[in-house]
Structure 1
Amino acid sequence: MNLLFRAIWVLCTSWRRRHVGFLEPAELGLLTFPNDLDINLHVNNGRYLSLLDLGRVDLMQRSGLWRHFFRRRWLPVVAGVMVRFRRSLKVCQRFTLTTRILGWDERFFYMEQQIVTPKGVAMIAYVRGCFVAPGGPLPTAVVLAEIGVTELSPELPEAVRHWAAAEVAMARQDPATVISAIEN
């Protein structure tokens, strides 16, 4: 995470923000800084991904998940991101980053993250991630049991289901086949 000072700020101030449940959205008010910009003087597309890290940290802290995982030495890991940019963010622009868990399958948790300005949605992302223990990735059932969640996953939105299927197909492909398809 290349936003270390902002991450520390999120962690240190999370107690002042409202507690959220496991499936509730967490909203985080942020501001763009000059070092977030690219040569076009708007937030760099790579920086958006770093800003999304802050939202996931905030959600884990405010929902109480962080203490469960920290104690067990489980680390959250992003396994994939699908992003749609809609509007530019300029320097010193205030925005709200909303993060929520949409659901899960056997291996991954799926989240939606949005950056919203007074003019509307600037960016929406679907993120899939898992937790990794010292011995390797954990099934979602183990993670859910640790935090006491017994209900089934909510139905994932159609776009997320299609994206998850595409990720499986990509994982099964031989890299040489993918490169060949790109070159032709």
Structure 2
Amino acid sequence: MNNARYLREADFARYYYFDRSGLYATITKKNGTIIQTASIVRYRRAISIFMPYKIITKLIYWDDRHFYMEQQFIGLKNNFIYAIILNRQTIIGSETPIEDIIANIEPKTCKPKPTKEFELWMETIKESSQNLRNQGKMK
């Protein structure tokens, strides 16, 4: 697979996750929608043509406006993780806090503790956003 194909397949897996979990239906009932606003990919080995694999999608964190997900591309024959994608999904059009959306689906769910790797990625996103804001002020 080429690099673009990983992202395309991850999109389909995310749509499936949001639909099956009930998150999409709950968000649209609150007049919202979801867009991807950040992602990072770590390619470990290439997935060759006709090689069977699966994508595991996990909700790993959330804040007031964003869902953060991890997606692993795993070979079915060897259980090796070929690629990992971290991504941020942002809710737009709704003022409903994500805590309320999650509680509507699974009331006893607690926010996971972020990993160090995830925290570093979030810092990178914040730094990048600040740099872009500063560039906009210079014009």
TMscore range, shorter length: 0.7 to 0.9
Structure 1 residue 131 corresponds to structure 2 residue 104: no
Determine if contact 1:112/1:126 at 8 Å carries over to the other structure.
yes
Report the Cα distance in structure 1 between the residues aligned to 2:129 and 2:96, rounded to whole angstroms: 19
Q: Please state how far the C-alpha of 1:108 moved relative to its aligned partner.
A: 1.6
Out of 41, 46, 53, the residue aligned to residue 11 of structure 2 is 53
Give the aligned partner of residue 158 of structure 1.
116
Determine if contact 1:87/1:123 at 8 Å carries over to the other structure.
yes
User: Number of paired residues?
Assistant: 132
Answer with 1 or 2: which has the greater Rg: 1
Report the Cα distance in structure 2 between the residues aligned to 1:106 and 1:71, rounded to whole angstroms: 18
Out of 41, 44, 52, the residue aligned to residue 86 of structure 1 is 44
Q: Please state how far the C-alpha of 1:146 moved relative to its aligned partner.
A: 4.5
Amino acid at match of 1:114: Q
Structure 1 residue 169 corresponds to structure 2 residue 134: no
Length-normalised TM-score, structure 2: 0.81
Unmatched 5+ stretches in structure 1: 1-42, 177-184
Determine if contact 1:102/1:112 at 8 Å carries over to the other structure.
yes
Length-normalised TM-score, structure 1: 0.63
Amino acid at match of 2:88: R
Q: Please state how far the C-alpha of 1:53 moved relative to its aligned partner.
A: 0.8
Give the aligned partner of residue 101 of structure 2.
143
CA RMSD of aligned residues (A): 2.2
